[in-house]
Amino acid sequence: MSRRVVGFLRMGRLAPRHAALLAVAFIWCSATGAHADLPQLQPFKLARASGEAVTLDSWKNHQAVPLLFLNTECPVSNSYAPLMTRLAERYRGRGVGCYGVHCDPALTAAEAQQHASEYALKLPLVLDPEQSLAHAAGVRIAPTAIVASPTGKVLYRGRLDNRYDTSGKRRDAATVHDLENALDAVLRGEQPAVAETEAFGCPLPKLKAPQPPNQ
């Protein structure tokens, strides 16, 4: 078991059943700064947990689109549910379309909605079972936040805030609010001062191995 997991357990932050998840958690997004080489999302079509389709064209009337990549079994991801809800509600009237994105290939729409109810997560949920959107955005762990333009250009990628440092140590309260700073910059018509940060959490669930064709 890694030292960071042991540290979480000593602080009483994690239940023992989560230790295996964070034992393989890793840190990603080594580049920081305003000039990071972030991707342009190509047209896609995914389903919301409520049944409606979401496409790149769905974003055309938004000023900015935060995508919050979730993992229902990750305690770090779940700990951010209150902040995700607050941000979705705070920016909703400012032309911001905020989505939670589930990348677990085994997760059903009903399970996603149940998880949202359990954690009072009040934002539209998108199902990305093949992790096509996650891979296009360069996301490998949850929670990771993306801020995209209405045309799908990724303008920010990384942590929501600095509540967790890169070793996994947790602060009582965040002192840097990276996602909010990026959103505020985009809404002012500016590029985020910091376009990419390190995100700490759990790996995205593994995709199912392709089945061999019947002989």
Residue 8: pLDDT over 80: no
pLDDT at residue 211, as a whole number: 62
CA atoms within 13 A on the CB side of 130: 7
- Residue 18 is which amino acid? H
Q: Tokens 């762990």 correspond to what residue?
A: 141
Query: 148 or 35: which carries more pLDDT confidence?
Result: 148
State mean pLDDT over 63-92.
Answer: 97
Q: What would the 3-class secondary structure string for the chain be?
A: CCHHHHHHHHCCCCCHHHHHHHHCCCEECCCCCCCCCCCECCCCEEEECCCCEEEHHHHCCCCEEEEEEECCCCHHHHHCHHHHHHHHHHHHHHCECCEEEECCCCCCHHHHHHHHHHCCCCCCEEECCCCHHHHHHCCCEECEEEEECCCCEEEEEECCCCCECCCCCECCCCCCCHHHHHHHHHHCCCCCCCCECCEECEECCCCCCCCCCCC
> Whole-angstrom Cα distance, residue 141 to residue 168?
14
Per-chain mean pLDDT for the chain = 86
User: CB within 8 A of 88, min separation 6: which ones?
Assistant: 66, 98, 122, 123
Where does the pLDDT of residue 165 fall: very low under 50, low under 70, confident under 90, or very high at 90 and above? confident
Domain spanning 27-203: CATH superfamily:
Glutaredoxin (3.40.30.10)
State mean pLDDT over 179-188.
Answer: 98
Residue 16: pLDDT over 80: no
Q: Token pair for residue 56?
A: 């790149």
Query: 182 or 166: which carries more pLDDT confidence?
Result: 182
16-20, 53-57, 177-181, range with the lowest pLDDT:
16-20
Domain ranges of the chain: 27-203
Where does the pLDDT of residue 163 fall: very low under 50, low under 70, confident under 90, or very high at 90 and above? very high
pLDDT at residue 212, as a whole number: 65
129-133, 144-148, 167-171, range with the lowest pLDDT:
167-171
pLDDT at residue 6, as a whole number: 37
17-21, 118-122, 155-159, 196-200, range with the lowest pLDDT:
17-21
pLDDT at residue 36, as a whole number: 60
> Whole-angstrom Cα distance, residue 118 to residue 107?
15
Predicted model pTM: 0.82
Percent of the chain surpassing pLDDT 90: 77
Residue 81: pLDDT over 80: yes
- Whether 104 and 71 have beta carbons less than 8 Å apart is answered as yes
